[in-house]
Structure formats: C-alpha cells, structure tokens
Structure 1
Amino acid sequence: MKKFKMILILLLAFIVLAACSETEETNPESAKESESNTEEEMDGMDHSDMNMSGSDEVPEGLQEASNPTYPEGSQAIIKADHMEGMNGAEATITGAYDTTVYTISYTPTNGGQKVTDHKWVIHEELENPSDEPLETGDEAIVNADHMEGMDGATAEIDSATKTTVYMVDFELTTSGEKVTNHKWLTEDEFTPAE
C-alpha cells in the first residue's frame, strides 16, 4: 500500500510539473502570436484571419468595368497595406469591376473581436443588395468570406464609394508567397508598373 501511495504521489507530481512545463512553452508562442497579430494590424484592422487568396468567381450581378485604368492582364504596383507584405508588390490584374465599395465594421460570427473599418466589401457581397448603394451608418448582412467569421455577420457601413475594384494576383514582399484572386483593391491603391 505504501508503495502504491508513493507511485501515486510521484505520478501526480510528474503531471503537475508537465503541465507547468507545457504552460511555459505555450506562453512564448502566445507572445509571438500577439506580436504577429500586432504586425498584421494595418489601418486599425487585424487581418490575421484574412483569406488572402480566393476563387476567380465573383458575386452575381457584378459588372465588368467598361474602361478600367488597369485592364485585366496588366501589371500595377500595390500601394495598400491590407496585409503584411502587400504594399509595394507587383500585381497582375485578374478582374476589374464597377461597383460601390464599402469599409465596414462588424462582430465576427465566430465570436471574435469586433473588426472596424475593414477594407473592402462590395455592394454585390451584401445579402439581397438593393439597386441603390448603402450610406454611412446603414446596416447589412455580409455574404463574403474574406475573413474568418465575416460571412453572415451584420455590418455597419463606415464609408461607401462608387469606383472600380480589382481582383489581383501577386507575391507577398515579405515571404514570396503567391496570392491569387485577391479581392478587392480600389483604383487609388495602385500606381502604374514601370
């Protein structure tokens, strides 16, 4: 019986020490994740859950731009920092569309923290979009999954602009990772490629 108690005490001590050791190893990772998330907060937005690449499918009713500044197949330099490694990347335009583009604030459906001034969601990515663009302060349901927890979220419109939006392919300047069919960039977020 004494032997059994001694084994049990040693086993419990081992479990407690293992749990403490695991916590110590996990905490540095949490700190690294926190640092990484801070680096990925651009323009007040945390894009750590952003789906950088997407399909080449576009929402129903979205109209191709009749005379875009950057036509499909052309190159342009990105001057936007929606995510780390985007600013300064050379992009190939894979689509150009005329629409109303919104910055939105919403609480993710997966229970994450509120996202403010997210760039960009287009009019055709809203649930049952009306013929008329929404205005600042209006609310709408988002039917887009640019970020985890976005699809189905109720969003408040922070700004609305009628413009040409672009879908692009590019490589992150930080890692060289290829991003395909990234949605969306606006015309003023490019400069001509040299």
Structure 2
Amino acid sequence: MIKKNTVLVYGGAFNPPSISHITLAKQLLNFTDAEKLIFLPVGDNYKKRELIPAYHRVNMLKITCEDNHRLEVSTIEVDAKKRLYTLETLNIIKKQNKNKDICFILGTDNLKDIVNWKGYERILTEYKLIVMERGEDTLDKIFYDIPVLENYKDNLIHIKGLLVNDISSSLIRNNIKQKKAIKHLTAQKIIEYINKNKLYEY
C-alpha cells in the first residue's frame, strides 16, 4: 500500500510538538516501508492563537528528529512570503523528491473539510492521503456524509493498529501556564528547550 520510495508529509503547527506527534510519526515509519517522514510546520503568516515564532517550533522538531534518520523537518511554509495552500506545498515537496510518491497525513476532521480546500480534486487525485480516524469519524462514515470523497477512496489510506492518543499541544501550553508538569506530554529534550527559552509562560 505504501511503497518504499514514499515520502510521508506530516503538517501542523507543532506548538509545541507533543508526545502524540512524535509517537504517531515513528509508528507510521514502523508500520510502512516509507523512505522518510517530513514534519511540515506552518509559518508565522498562519494566523493561530498562541502560535510562537516558527524558528522555535522548527528547532523543537529538529530535536525530535535527532535520533531517527528517517525523520526530517521542512521549512517550506516557514520560509514562504505568503501562506501557501496545501496543494502548492505538496507540489514543491514533489519537485524536491523526484521519482518519489508523496503521501500526506491528515485527520478525519480535516478530511471532512477538504472539499473546501483550493484544488482539493488535484490533492486527492495526485497524492495519497493517510487518514487518522478521530472519535466516531470513520472513513466509511465520511464517505456516507460526503459521497464525492468515495470517488477518491483508492488514494485514502487508513492504517489499522496505530496507537493514537489525544495529547494536544494546547494541553502542554496550558500546563506550562498553570505551572503543572509536562514530562508525560512531550520529550525531555523538548521540555529542556522550552524551559531554556521560557516558552509559553504568558
């Protein structure tokens, strides 16, 4: 299903990277024959509440990748002068990884909204998508609710057996603000980086 020459693309704010982000990335590499997984943090032009500067989020992701040569960080969206559409970003990654299959990771919450994305037909036709089922949102239910997506079901992949927890970045930020422990929520080296740079203490 996922070939060896596949590049997995995992986008998000990673504000900060949580144990969920890290565990999911490593599980996907273990469950597939993919060549590598690229973390794709959003840039500073992405308007989101409490989003810290991109260079901090990039640095924390690089820390995450230190012990695994199949993990990388892309700064495509960070370096862009404007906010890129997902299709634009995927096309750039495709050019950078010639002769590779590009597979985009997203949750069912985003899949339900994908028909509102610019060029969504091209995304669903030209790229494979690994869909992370959340809550009661299964692929079958989404096909029932949004019938047009069933036309692209061959490119929508659900990998069974993944252990997905819901430890969010916002939980980490809230714990820091409330001076609660976060050692069970992210990696120790990321905690050290957060403490050193006094992040999220507002």
Please, what TM-score do these two structures have when normalized by structure 1? 0.27
Q: Per residue, is there more helix in 1 or in 2?
A: 2
The structure number with the bigger radius of gyration is: 1
Please, what TM-score do these two structures have when normalized by structure 2? 0.26
Q: Per residue, is there more strand in 1 or in 2?
A: 1
